[in-house]
Every structure is written in structure tokens, then in C-alpha cells.
């Protein structure tokens, strides 16, 4: 059975930890951080390549509609369908409205849910994993993709694998929150844990059934918001009254951890969530000193660093493992180790309503 898998790409958030490159009006997924394409364009191109099928659905902040439409124009024969959220309500509602739209537009189908800001180096491995996932998703499983944990990363959630289902697919024994360093080391040593990638594959109907079962309030509000949505060309604007009163929750909390139909397909496709400047350093080409230097950069006695500027000369002397990102109105200087803590600064700027976030 060769069957279409509808790509659903979640494009919420600004990518706080990639400030000052990412901004409210220019979120991470719209930046050319890795190559000459935005992350969201690369995501669409990738899924078109590894699982050619139907036009993707993008669920995004209404404010980003124009920018995303421009960015994705020409990625396929038709422009993607945009489902526009009046406010962000996390992933459980976003996936629900996409599932409802798929069923309404073309009848029940497999759907693959992808964040808009991940990179995947090995497309063949990814395609294989999608094949495994599709097989059991047709049997009613809600499948998540678990990434081989190659280091004791504390920035990701983990999935403990259970018994085999068929082929590579396993039951999910347990979802685990972001661990501390010791726990992360134990997870990796045990070999029983995978990183939770935030990518999912299931039948649209099965997701809605499990959502109805475990989060009926979200199921109800998203049905209302989708039913009362307004349409213009390829844009679907969710009803603001219904959607804004919907509870905010993640697909993991609301559905995946609650359902008895969760499955995981382990895979190692060179996945990176581009979650911070440190993870961007990981996936970037480096010089002999382990530096990534973009712009007008002069280095002396510098190793393991990520330095991103523009026209202005950036001179760095005698530092290791630092991150320097210069933009016209804001400069960030931190370390790869502290790259997660950029959030502290962004929170402060947010509280003060500072222009350097916009």
C-alpha cells in the first residue's frame, strides 16, 4: 500500500535561544542559519524529497503568514496551506487543527508532524524511519521518532523504549522530562533511552480519537476553532474566540504520554534541533581550530567557537568555546556551555518590552 503522508509543519515560537539573530518578527525558522535556505524551507524541501506526497500544511502564528508564504513559495507545485493561529497554544491544539483540516479536505490520512526548525543530515535514514513508522501508524499507533542518544544531553526529553512491535518499532515504556547531567549519563549508558525528537506520524483520526479521550477540552475547542475558521486562498484563519480559550498543552503531555497506543521508531538520521547556538555550532562546518566564523572575523588563539557577524570587524583573542553573534542593534557574547542561558537575557528584555526583541 503506497499512501500519501501529509506533512504538517509546526512553526510556532521565535527561537528564544537563538537571539539576537531570532526575533519576534523574524523567528528562527525563517533564518538562513545553516545554509542559504531558511530552516522551514529546508524542512519542506526535505519532506518533499524523502516522502513526496501532498502539499504541506503549516501551522503558524498569524503574524508570520506573509513571511512564511514568501519563503515557501516555489517549494512545490502548490503553495502550502497555512493554518493561522491567533495565539500560540502549544503543540497539542496545533496538531489537532491540522488533523481536522486533513480529514475535512481529503479524508482520513497519515500525517507526519515536523517542527520547522530541525536539521537532518541523513535523508535516507530519515526516509527509512518514516517507512517503519507509517507501517504501524496504519494499525492505529501514534508513532514518535526517537533519536539515538549520542551524548548525555540535558536539553532534550528522553523516551524509554519498551518491547518490539514490528520491525524497528517499539512500544514506549516511558516519556522522561529533560534530565539532570547524572541522569542523562545513566540514560545514555543504559542504551534504553532515545531523545524525544518532537516528530510524529499517525493517522489524523487516531490522533483526534486519543485527544478526545485524554484531553477532551482541547479536542472540543480545536473543533470549534477549525469549524468557525475563515478561509482566503491557501490561508485558514482559526476562529480567535474559540482558539484563544483553548488550553495550552504539548502533544506529549496531552496525548503521547497518556495514550496506550504510543510507539517509537528509533532512528539516527543526523538529527539536530538547532535549539541553541551550541547546537548550531555542532552541525556547522568548522575550520582546523574547531571554529565557525561567518562575517568579517579575525581570530588569534581561538578554538571551538561560533562567531557570526556581518560587515563589522569582529576580532577575538585568546578564547575557547565562545559564542559571539553580532547584529545591528544587539550583540551576544556567551559560551557554548551557557548558550541555553541566553533565555535569561531574552526573558529580561521581554519583561522590559525592549526593542531588541522585535
Binding positions for a copy of itself, rule: CB under 8 A: 20, 298, 300-301, 309, 312-319, 322, 324, 326, 328-335, 337-338, 341-342, 344-345, 348-349, 354, 356
- Could you tell me the smallest distance in angstroms from the CB atom of residue 246 to a copy of itself? 34
- How far CA 318 is from CA of 144, 230, 296, 302, 303, in Å, comes to 44, 57, 18, 5, 8
The residue (of 116 and 276) whose beta carbon lies closer to a copy of itself is 276
The residue (of 124 and 317) whose beta carbon lies closer to a copy of itself is 317
Three-state DSSP at 180 gives coil
- Could you tell me the smallest distance in angstroms from the CB atom of residue 134 to a copy of itself? 42
- Could you tell me the smallest distance in angstroms from the CB atom of residue 335 to a copy of itself? 5
- Could you tell me the smallest distance in angstroms from the CB atom of residue 343 to a copy of itself? 9
Count of C-beta atoms within a 10 Å radius of residue 258:
15
- How far CA 29 is from CA of 33, 63, 150, in Å, comes to 9, 14, 25
C-alpha cell at 111: 500525517
H-helix segments, 156-310: 181-190, 204-214, 216-227, 240-244, 251, 277-283
The residue (of 262 and 314) whose beta carbon lies closer to a copy of itself is 314
d(CA 324, CA 335): 8
d(CA 11, CA 91): 10
- Could you tell me the smallest distance in angstroms from the CB atom of residue 331 to a copy of itself? 5
- Could you tell me the smallest distance in angstroms from the CB atom of residue 325 to a copy of itself? 9
Q: Which H or E run contains 266?
A: strand 262-267
The residue (of 284 and 338) whose beta carbon lies closer to a copy of itself is 338
CA angle 143, 57, 48 (to 5 degrees): 75
The residue (of 256 and 278) whose beta carbon lies closer to a copy of itself is 278
The residue (of 20 and 27) whose beta carbon lies closer to a copy of itself is 20
Amino acid at each position: 500500500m503506497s499512501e500519501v503522508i501529509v506533512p504538517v509543519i509546526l512553526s510556532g515560537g521565535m527561537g528564544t535561544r537563538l537571539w539576537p539573530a531570532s526575533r519576534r518578527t523574524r523567528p528562527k525558522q525563517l533564518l538562513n542559519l545553516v545554509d542559504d535556505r531558511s530552516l522551514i524551507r529546508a524542512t519542506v524541501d526535505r519532506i518533499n524529497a524523502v516522502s513526496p506526497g501532498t502539499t504541506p500544511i503549516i501551522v503558524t502564528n498569524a503574524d508570520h503568514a506573509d513571511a512564511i508564504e514568501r519563503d515557501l513559495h516555489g517549494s512545490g507545485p502548490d503553495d502550502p496551506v497555512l493554518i493561522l493561529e491567533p495565539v500560540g497554544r502549544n503543540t497539542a491544539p496545533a496538531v489537532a487543527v491540522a488533523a481536522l483540516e486533513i480529514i475535512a479536505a481529503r479524508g482520513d490520512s497519515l500525517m507526519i508532524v515536523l517542527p520547522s526548525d530541525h536539521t537532518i543530515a541523513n535523508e535516507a535514514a530519515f526516509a527509512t524511519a518514516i517507512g517503519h513508522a507509517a507501517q504501524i501508524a496504519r494499525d492505529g499507533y501514534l508513532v514518535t521518532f526517537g533519536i539515538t542518544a549520542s551524548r548525555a544531553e540535558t536539553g532534550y526529553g528522553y523516551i524509554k523504549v519498551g518491547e518490539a512491535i514490528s520491525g524497528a518499532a517499539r512500544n514506549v515504556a516511558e516519556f522522561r522530562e529533560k534530565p539532570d547531567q547524572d541522569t542523562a549519563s545513566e540514560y545514555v549508558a543504559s542504551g534504553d533511552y532515545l531523545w524525544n525528537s518532537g516528530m510524529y506520524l499517525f493517522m489524523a483520526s487516531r490522533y483526534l480519537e486519543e485527544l478526545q479521550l485524554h484531553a477532551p477540552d482541547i479536542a472540543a475547542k480545536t473543533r470549534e476553532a477549525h469549524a468557525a475558521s475563515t478561509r482566503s486562498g491557501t490561508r485558514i484563519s482559526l476562529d480567535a474566540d474559540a482558539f484563544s480559550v483553548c488550553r495550552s498543552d504539548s502533544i506529549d503531555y496531552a496525548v503521547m504520554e497518556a495514550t496506550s497506543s504510543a510507539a517509537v521508531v528509533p532512528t539516527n538520521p543526523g538529527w539536530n534541533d538547532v535549539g541553541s547556538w551550541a547546537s548550531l555550532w555542532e552541525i556547522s562546518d568548522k575550520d582546523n581550530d574547531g571554529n565557525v566564523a561567518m562575517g568579517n572575523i579575525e581570530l588569534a588563539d581561538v578554538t571551538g567557537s561560533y562567531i557570526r557577524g556581518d560587515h563589522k570587524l569582529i576580532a577575538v583573542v585568546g578564547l575557547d568555546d565562545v559564542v559571539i553573534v553580532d547584529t545591528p542593534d544587539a550583540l551576544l557574547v556567551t559560551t557554548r556551555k551557557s548558550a541555553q542561558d541566553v533565555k535569561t537575557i531574552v526573558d529580561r528584555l521581554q519583561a522590559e518590552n525592549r526593542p531588541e526583541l522585535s
